[in-house]
A and B are shown apart, each in its own frame.
Chain A
Amino acid sequence: MKNLCKHILILGLIILFGMGNVFAQKAKKKTTRVGVAYFKSDTKIETLVATLRVKEKRYIPLNDAVLTFYSVSDTLKVLLAKIRTDENGQAIFALANNSKIAKDSTGLMAFVVEYEGNSLLKDAKRKITVKQAGLEVSFFQKDTIKFIEIEAKTADPNTQAAPINNLKIKLYIKGTFSLLNFANEKTDKNGIVRVEFPIDMPGDTLGVLTIVAKIEEDDVYGTVESRGEINWGIPVPLVKEKQRGLGDTDAPLWMVYTLITLLSAVWFHYLYVIFMIIKIKLAKL
């Protein structure tokens, strides 16, 4: 009887701690978060960039996890792709006129990106709806004033393009390492933004500047970018890299001249002394 009680007690403890462990594991499951953004580049390449993060002390990117991309409509949920996240926790899906992508009558596309989760991480998903838009950058001059004109239109290949009004456009000048923002305007009823060209900006050797027009993280159109080039900047002469000549076949001229001068100076004196020795020989009695 005593032994039976002992065994029951041990079993009870095992169950207690074992269950506790199970509960502990459940309690330890970490929260994850999926973020999705739509990008349309200047070259008209459309992508969905999904980012998976896990909550530690703060949200940090989770790499090597699979994200599933779906195209969704009221009735359908079509699998588009399963993509593994990179070291930044990002999985990039290119739309590329995919026929599986569903659109409603207004041209609205809906996507869902899901993370299934695992024994340690919770699952997560995010829905995004996007309408395709396009920007056109053009330049014109009125009297002496130079302008940039941006035209925002819908860009659904199945429907006719329509101007988008009241849309916030950001204008940048492309620098060597980053973009320099110089104007933020909203489109008028014709979907057009006109901004005076910043004529005091340094361009390349020909004065060419790249103007970048952007719709940034818009709730409907996502991020859309378009670029235009014009030689209205201040030409900056090319800074020629100074050739040191050390790695070239030919030595730098200053080095050649210095060497010749030094050696000539020394050898001239040698020759003069040899000449004096000859004179000593000739001057014998």
Chain B
Amino acid sequence: MNLNPKSAKMLDYFASQMVKVSKPGIFWLAIATVFIIGGFYALIVQIVEGHIVTGMRDNVVWGIFIANFIFFIGISYAGALISGILHLLRVEWRTPIIRIAEIITVISTLIGPAYILLCMGRLDRLHHLALFGRIQSPIIWDVMAITTYLIGSIIFLYLASIRDLAALRDYPFKSKWRNKIYTILAIGFNGTPKQNRYLDRSLDIMSAIIIPLAILVHSVLAWIFGMTLRPGWHSTIFAPYFVVAAVFSGTGVLIIALWIFRKYYKLESYITKIHFNYLGIILMILGALYAYFTFSEYLTSWYGSETWEMEVLYKLFNPNEYWWWFFFAAIIGVVLPIIVILIPKFRNINSITAVSVIAVLALWVKRYLIIIPTLEAPLLPLQDMRPEYIHYTPTIIEWLLTFAGVALFCVLFFLFSKFMPILPVVKADEGNYAELRKTVLKRIVKEKMKETEIKESEKMKDL
């Protein structure tokens, strides 16, 4: 079993990219860092001043923090689902997509729940969840589900990275810390038939378990809303609706990530138009499904004419309140991706990415519209209240923390790409890492010799 020279070349390419940061990379990293610092400042202000610095009040108790939470958890599920399904079905074109999808899963599952913590008034009582948590509460289900899911995603990502970690271990990096970490993480993997068998079995198990887990976990998140008797939330289709919306937005994020890394690392030969087309078609199908659920949900509410439900619907359809947001989230963000991807003339890498950006933004707005209008339609009529108690407006602190979360997501993604190849390099049927090491060493020796030759010829010229 010889190592594929193509893989060795690819690893070599990535390894050389991993140890340096280009000028555009530094520029974007600096911008992201500014946002993160801004978020850190906002966090301190919120801790010192309390939740009064946010737009959340007695009536509207959840704001954009919860919208961000659902958004991040949503895209994480898409990553798990896509990578799990593609792995199980052994889809040929999965290779360039699968690692990015797995990274999206882990990073967004780490960032999403942080917004819940930002929402909590008494963080010092966080441990009460474990001590006094009631199994009957969907919030406890969510805590258990997300924790389990995060651990599963990390295991899945790790398993899928072992072959590349072993290859990186054998790669002659200059920095010792890299070699040390790769040696620890590679756990002595050498691609022996036994090791390959164990690894493949583990990957199959994890990819099989991560799919129902992702569906279940996002359903649990939907049930936090669906189990309450609030207009706009109390719906039996909320769980599948959330799952479809999550995969829809997650696929959008995946396409955007592919486009960025393709550009940044110049991976045009690995990430081709086919990948964008296939993911675009998935996005289109999910968009149609999402549109169907949206129509079904609002038609049922409207037809029932239940007073509370109508109050929320009037808010959504009122041009002075949320109509334009709703129009963007439910119509533009769905119809536009479908049209662009459906018509072959419009379908190209840039257009697919552009409509993905629109779909992702629309789905963020949709999460906002799920939370705020419902909370602005209280169960008991409010009288003589201050406007900010009835209408929610996010404050600068909330926006800073929101942008910081997005920036942190990008930075972590970038840092991960500096630690691991962003695409899987070593395939399952490869395993001769000594051969890889030899190939790489040969190239380095060749380069050195070439350099020496050039220097000598220059010296000779000088003489």
From B134, B162, B209, give the contact of A280 (CB < 8 A). B162
Contact of B194 with A by CB under 8 A: yes
**Nearest chain B CB to A274's CB is how many angstroms away?**
7
Count contacts on B: residues with CB < 8 A to the other chain.
27
Question: What residues of chain A lie closer than 8 Å to B343, measured between beta carbons?
Answer: none
Q: How far is the CA of A61 from the CA of B96 in the complex (A)?
A: 84
A238 proximal to B (CB < 8 A) = no
Which residues does chain A contribute within 8 Å of B216, judged by CB atoms? 262
Q: Which residues of B contact A140 (CB under 8 A)?
A: none
User: What would 29 A/B residue contacts be, using CB atoms closer than 8 Å?
Assistant: A246-B136, A248-B136, A251-B135, A251-B136, A252-B136, A255-B136, A256-B135, A259-B144, A263-B148, A266-B209, A269-B205, A269-B206, A269-B209, A270-B155, A273-B155, A273-B159, A273-B205, A274-B155, A276-B202, A277-B202, A280-B187, A280-B189, A280-B195, A281-B188, A283-B195, A284-B188, A284-B189, A284-B192, A285-B192
- Cβ of A182 within 8 Å of any chain B Cβ, yes or no, is no
By a CB distance below 8 angstroms, the chain A residues around B162 are: 280
* Bound-complex Cα distance A252 to B136 (A): 8
Q: Is B190 an interface residue (CB 8 A)?
A: yes
Q: A248 contacts which chain B residues (CB < 8 A)?
A: 136
Known: A263-B148, A285-B190. A273 touches B136 (CB 8 A): no
Q: Which residue of B lies closest to A256 (CB)?
A: B135
In this assembly, does B152 line the interface, its C-beta being within 8 Å of a C-beta of chain A?
Answer: yes
Main secondary structure of the interface of A (DSSP, over half): helix
Query: CB within 8 Å of B: which residues of A?
Result: 245-246, 248-249, 251-252, 255-256, 259, 262-263, 266-267, 269-270, 272-274, 276-277, 279-281, 283-285
A277–B158 CA distance with the chains assembled, in angstroms: 10
Closest chain A CB from B85 CB (angstroms): 17
> Of A259, A262, A273, A283, which one neighbours B135 at CB under 8 angstroms?
A259
Tell me the minimal C-beta distance from A247 to chain B in angstroms. 8
Whether the pair B148, A276 counts as a contact (CB closer than 8 A) is: no
Q: What is the bound-complex CA distance between A279 and B202, given in angstroms?
A: 11
With A and B bound together, what is the CA distance between A264 and B148 in angstroms? Answer: 11
For B190, the closest partner residue in chain A by CB is: A285
Select B202's contact among A263, A273, A283, A285, beta carbons within 8 Å.
A273
Contacting pair A273 B206 (CB below 8 A): yes
User: What 9 A-B pairs come out closest when comparing CB atoms?
Assistant: A284-B188, A251-B135, A281-B187, A276-B202, A283-B194, A273-B202, A251-B136, A276-B198, A246-B136
Q: How far is the CB of A1 from chain B (nearest CB, A)?
A: 68
